[in-house]
Chains A and B, each alone.
Chain A
Amino acid sequence: MPPGGVQLQVVELEKVKVEHVSKSFTRSDGRGKTPVLQDVSFTVNDGEIASIIGPTGCGKSTLLRIIAGIASPDSGKITVGGKEVVSSANPASAIVFQAFNLLPWRTAQKNIEFGLEAKGLPPAEREKAAQHFIDLVGLKGYEKYHPHELSGGMQQRVGLARALAIEPEVILLDEPFSSVDMLTRESLQHEVLNILMETKKTAVFVTHNIDEAIFLSNRILSLGGKPATIREVFEVDLPYPRNDEVMVSQKALRLKLDLKKALLSSPHAQSEDPGAA
């Protein structure tokens, strides 16, 4: 952990820029379109750790996919690291999927090496990098296991290691700690935060968990509505590391309440759309 009382080293430089992004999905029964995102705009500066919170089904994963370049918006523009995101070939960012998305024919280690293969790294270097991140996420001894032989939490950590391994400028994390127990969760949060701060990476987390958002990020975006848009932005003016003392400070508790209100005031996406998951 960095010494107490530190802040993120944020450079006033827009690392991720989302401008007027809208997205709707054609319904599978062909009866029109469901708008999911409506005119979403925000920026994340270099070195910032931003969190997106919002009720289930409001479009958080969709937004992250669009930023990663694997889904295209109906309108609007995404810029990552100064370059417009047009297709998936966007090595500046890496994504940790909510559903892990491991490749079942690869071992844990080979899954972690996956992104490095695309970069054309020689095998010896790939192995070395993979080993480092296997240790980091606590999967030593499971290198040769296939995903179906790993627990959900282990698979999630493989997905996390795979994204970290390519050392992207921007890392997009979709509820990356959702499937592990509380203690593992806390230690992973610390580890990931350490990496992000030491390497001055830019990160966008998606989370349901208000405490997690406060613990990790310096800015929290509340996504909500139907179709969803950015409703509120909260600056998290708390020093890192956010130990228990910081987390129960007056400021932190105030913020927690505000965030809770923001979440509650957002109409629940599922109430209107029974198909939402």
Chain B
Amino acid sequence: MLSYKWIVRIISVVAFVVLWQLIGQAVDTTLFSTPILVASSFANLVTQTSFPTDLLTTIRDFAIGFTIAAVLGISVGIAMARWRTMEVALDPYVSALYSTPYVALAPLFVIWLGIGIYEQLVVVILSSVFVILLNTFAGVNNMNKSYVETGRAFGFSGFKLYRKVVVPGALPYIMTGLRLGIGRGFVGMIVAELLVRLDRLGFLMVYYSELLEVAPGLAIAVTLGLLGLLMTEALKKVETRLAPWRSSATGG
């Protein structure tokens, strides 16, 4: 059964595609392209270029990097909230590094690590880890005091208290951190591809754009957009399962 939400979404997408097709045809198909042209260049990309393998490598590198960033960000965030010394010691770095645009440093990573998976991982991790860390830290600090009090009162302590009370209590914040981290990490990776590595999807997209081959450029952009959408939706699903008391307000 289609929900109201999905019906509206589908109508909106169909309307957009039709409108684009009409305007593209009427004005200039080379400059604005059309959905039909984009679809056919997508087919070309898939059958005749390195696009499929590039896409898979991009997804793989991102998945590995983001998983590391998530584990690192959540655990260090919790540790900083738990131990004041940790907080005092790490806070200056975190604050400074949080707002550093890592893509700008990507050339350095390439010099240090060469072009390969490692330099991509470093870009993804550094782009996303701090926003995850800071949100986790805020989540633990801003958590309703009564949760921990209740945990203690019923005999939880140490690691078990963290697993059963602190982490689930901070989950809404952690989820926000992860969502923001996905965006930052993904953009960071694509930009590194197009600016520094000069290969894979990011570069391919720019390459076609500069040749004024709008249709394949857009085909790649749409693919990346859908990928981002997919990841965000998946995360929302996880959030609805794990933190139902928060998502209930938005009817998820």
Contacts and interface: CB of A to CB of B under 8 A. Distances in A.
Given A104-B245, A105-B171, A88 B152 contact: yes
B248 A148 contact: yes
Nearest to B249: A148
A88 B153 contact: yes
B146 A101 contact: yes
A180 interface: no
B168 A105 contact: yes
A119 to B, nearest CB: 7
B153 A95 contact: yes
Nearest to A148: B245
A119 B154 CA distance: 9
A105 B155 contact: no
Contact of B156 (A101, A118, A148): A118
B248 A105 contact: no
A158 B13 CA distance: 46
Contacts of A70: 149, 152-153
Given A89-B155, A119-B155, A97 B150 contact: yes
B242 interface: yes
Of B146, B154, B168, B171, the most chain A CB neighbours within 10 A belong to B154
Interface in B164-215: 164-165, 168-169, 171
B160 interface: yes
Interface string A139-155: 00000001111000000
A67 B117 CA distance: 57
B152 A105 contact: no
Contacts of B242: 105
- Main DSSP-derived SS at the B contact region: helix
A91 B155 contact: yes
Given A70-B152, A105-B244, A146-B245, A118 B160 contact: yes
B94 interface: no
Interface in A77-113: 87-91, 94-95, 97, 99, 101-105
A114 B153 CA distance: 11
Kindly state the interface size class of chain A when it binds its partner.
20 to 34
Nearest to B147: A103
A241 B127 CA distance: 68
A235 interface: no
Contacts of B156: 118
Nearest to A149: B248
Contacts of A102: 150
A117 B164 contact: yes
A27 to B, nearest CB: 18
B183 to A, nearest CB: 25
Contacts of A88: 152-153, 155, 157
Interface in B218-252: 242-245, 248
Given A99-B146, A101-B146, A105-B171, A147 B245 contact: yes
Contacts of B245: 104-105, 146-148
A105 B168 CA distance: 7
Nearest to B157: A89
Contacts of A15: none
- 7 nearest interchain CB pairs? A88-B152, A118-B155, A104-B245, A115-B154, A101-B150, A101-B146, A105-B168
Given A103-B150, A104-B245, A105-B169, 18 more contacts: A68-B153, A69-B153, A87-B157, A88-B153, A89-B157, A94-B153, A95-B153, A97-B146, A103-B169, A105-B242, A105-B243, A105-B244, A118-B154, A118-B160, A146-B245, A149-B248, A162-B154, A166-B154
11 contacts: A68-B153, A69-B153, A90-B155, A101-B147, A101-B149, A101-B153, A105-B244, A105-B245, A118-B160, A146-B248, A149-B248
